[in-house]
Amino acid sequence: MSRLTIFLVLISAALFAVSALVGTAPISLGDSLAALAGQDDAATRAILWEIRLPRAAAAFAVGAALGLSGAGLQGLLQNPLAEPGVLGVSAFAALGAVIAIFFGLAAVSSFAVPVAAILGAGAATVLLVAAAMRGAGIVTLLLIGIGLSSFAGALMSLALNMAPNPYSLADLVNWMMGSVANRSWADIAMAAPALAIGAALVLRAGPGLRALSLGDETAASLGADPKRTRLLVIGGTSLLAGASVATAGTIGFVGIVAPHVMRPFVGHDPQRLLVPSALFAGIVLLAADIAIRVLPLQQELKLGVAAALVGGPVFIWIAARLGKSSP
């Protein structure tokens, strides 16, 4: 483990502790620490273990998934503006979830939305993988992504237009803004397998991503398998994006910003970028979620909105700088 990784892990751990101690319920520091240790009264323990910690875990896991998929896709597409949104995977995951909400499936089972989101991401993935298997290049994949995003966006607008009652509309808007409030351990357990498999696939693609830096042909002559690398990244990021959208709705920009910040610290190497990007994005979302809970607002700010408020301008700044020099 590199020094950078250890440093990021320590910061993550510290933020988890802060997250457990901070919130709207007035619990003293001493009571919180006692509850963490498994003592004190049942109510305090429930607030910590059933409300604050799962929420913190969800924020970190979603952030890490977005950071890892952003770093993986940027390495694959060799473009610092790539993230699951670019390939249309997030949009299709959101579409899956919206369909589940629209048809009232969410009321039938609490697992309907997560499963539908992962299925949506999976549908986009199958299409992208099919294209990659037929030898589609980076530009083709990006164009397919644009098409998928527009199509999913149109279908979601249709769902909004036809929403049968104001409740489902409110649900939908709420969810599309992105949040990890009120997430339970069950929600996290639901997403965990997809997150774990997705992370394993992307990490396996690491060496291939570095070889791809020299172009497909040179990479192939070095013994790398560009097609396999492409499949690993597309499959892995789809699972990560589907699971994170299922857990927290759509949260943008973290997947773009985290790799951008970490890149200089790892010698711009697409492989060594993966783990630090995941940790940094997890830290960013966890810190943002803590800030949201502390901010004295009438109604709690949505995590996705907070991420976009900070991430949007940073994204534009990166894009503007790209215009001046090659990545």
Partner 1 sequence: MISVNGVSVSLGGRRVVEDLTFALAAGEFAALTGPNGAGKSTALKALAGVAAVETGDVQIDGAPAGGLNALARARRVAWLPQARPVAWNLRVEDVVSLGRFAEAPAAYDGMGAEGRAAVDAALAKADAAHLAGRAFQALSGGEQARVHLARLLASPAPCLLLDEPCAVLDIAHQLSLMETLAAEAASGRAVLVVLHDLELAARYCQRVIVMDAGRVVADGAPGEALSAPLLQRVFGVQRSPTGQLIRRPR
Interface residues toward partner 1, by CB under 8 A: 78, 207-208, 210-215, 217-218, 220-225, 263, 267-272, 327
Alpha-carbon distance of 29 to 156, in angstroms, equals 44
Structural tokens at position 12 = 């993550």
Q: How many CA atoms lie within 13 A of 53 on its CB side?
A: 15
CB of 231 to partner 1, least distance (A): 15
Structure tokens at 180: 């990890």
User: In whole angstroms, how close is the CB of 269 to partner 1 at the nearest point?
Assistant: 6
Q: Which is nearer to partner 1, 26 or 223 (CB)?
A: 223
Of the two residues 249 and 255, which places its CB atom closer to partner 1 in the complex? 255
Q: Measured from the CB atom, is 118 or 205 closer to partner 1?
A: 205
Residues 185-212 as b or e (16 or more Cβ within 10 Å = b): eebbebbeebbeebbebbbebbebbbbb
- 141, 87 contact by CB (below 8 A): yes
Q: How far is CA 67 from CA 31, 140, 252, 295, in A?
A: 34, 23, 10, 25
Note the helical H segments in 164-205: 166-177, 185-204
CB of 266 to partner 1, least distance (A): 9
Q: How far is the CB of 265 from partner 1 (least distance, A)?
A: 12
In the complex, the smallest distance separating the C-beta of residue 23 from partner 1, rounded to whole angstroms, is 41
Nearest-approach distance from CB 206 to partner 1, in angstroms: 8
Q: Which is nearer to partner 1, 220 or 310 (CB)?
A: 220
Q: With respect to partner 1, which residue has the nearer C-beta, 193 or 327?
A: 327
Cβ nearer to partner 1, comparing 78 with 184:
78
Q: Return the structure tokens found at 146.
A: 């644009």
In this complex, which beta carbon is closest to partner 1, that of residue 97 or of residue 202? 202
For the range 77-82, what are the long-range contacts, defined as Cβ-Cβ under 8 Å and sequence gap of 24 or more? Answer: 77/138, 77/141, 77/142, 78/138, 78/212, 78/213, 78/327, 79/138, 79/327, 80/256, 80/259, 80/260, 80/263, 80/318, 80/322, 80/327, 81/256, 81/315, 81/318, 81/319, 81/322, 82/256
